[in-house]
Amino acid sequence: MKAVNQCFVADGDSGFIESFGLASKVVVVATKPVVFTHTQCSQASLTLAQALNQPTAVTRSTLSHEDSIMVHGGVCTLSLTAETFHRAGIEAKLQSGTQKYVAQIKLDGGAAHKRLLWAAENTLTSTFDFDVPGAQTTAATKSDPILTPAFDCPTDKEGEQDWANTIQEWVGLVGIGSMLIGENHGVETAISDFHIEGTAEILHITEISGLLLPDEIAKLWEKADLLLVSSSGDWPLAWQKLHAPSDNLTNPCYVLVRGDQSIKSLKFVPWQDL
């Protein structure tokens, strides 16, 4: 069964970035030259007890079948295998359709937090490879003439969905540096039927990978005309609403688009059963 993406379009961007949490990749598109700084991602071998003392830490693990831990925003989220859960001694719920047990524990000094601290010292004592925030760095930007769709969304529903699909495909091509959006791409229609009318304009493209925090993504968006935010299915963007870890969430992502007349938020949800 072929996996496809379903797109949900919303007006504005209020609260959108914060609601999705951490990301592993951002593509920034700007019509004017801009300089972006961001926090580099560092790797560290930590126990759970050590990770709980970090403001943000995410295991480098496969969500579908390995123990995964995220500490961020005063909350510890654990996605545990059955074997680990049964010896952990903490409360967690079996996720429907999976063999993973999930718990979200506020690090507020309450009973659940104290139980987690006990487990970190007694039952969950293994060392994990974590991604943690590192030093600040300046991102590299490339400037190229690119065929660009309209950033303003049509007002009718049918036109809105067609526009969103075009934006999704276009920003994906931007992210991989595809020749299909070059000024004279010369690609035969038998190979690809993607086409944008008009003349190419100079756009400034910045691609940032690593452990990206919501406040940093918000700062990138302040200077951008279009922002693609994504993560692999093993990263926290897929965790925020505790989606079942599966191949359905290979690349969860969202796009923010700033037009002359409007700002739109596009959320792309992978489905296998559409």
What's the pLDDT tens digit per position in 129-146? 999 998 889 988 989 888
Is the CB of residue 118 less than 8 Å from the CB of residue 89?
yes
The β-bridge partners of 267 are: 8, 254
Closest by CA to 23, choosing from 223, 244, 209, is 209
Nearest-angstrom CA–CA distance, 210 and 155: 36
Nearest-angstrom CA–CA distance, 188 and 12: 37
Model pTM? 0.84
pLDDT at residue 189 tops 60: no
Closest by CA to 257, choosing from 166, 188, 142, is 166
Q: What burial class does residue 164 get, using C-beta atoms within 10 Å of its C-beta: 0-12 exposed, 13-18 middle, 19+ buried?
A: buried
CA torsion angle 174 176 181 187 (round to 10):
-170
pLDDT at residue 188 tops 50: no
Copy the structure tokens of residue 64: 């579908």
pLDDT at residue 192 tops 90: no
Q: Which residues contact 74 (CB under 8 A, 6 or more apart)?
A: 106, 107, 108
Confidence at residue 274, expressed as pLDDT on a 0 to 100 scale: 33
Nearest-angstrom CA–CA distance, 3 and 166: 18
pLDDT at residue 60 tops 60: yes
Q: What is the mean pLDDT of residues 193-213?
A: 82
Instruction: Count how many Cα atoms sit within 13 Å of the Cα of residue 269 in the half-sphere of its side chain.
Output: 10
At 166, which amino acid appears? T
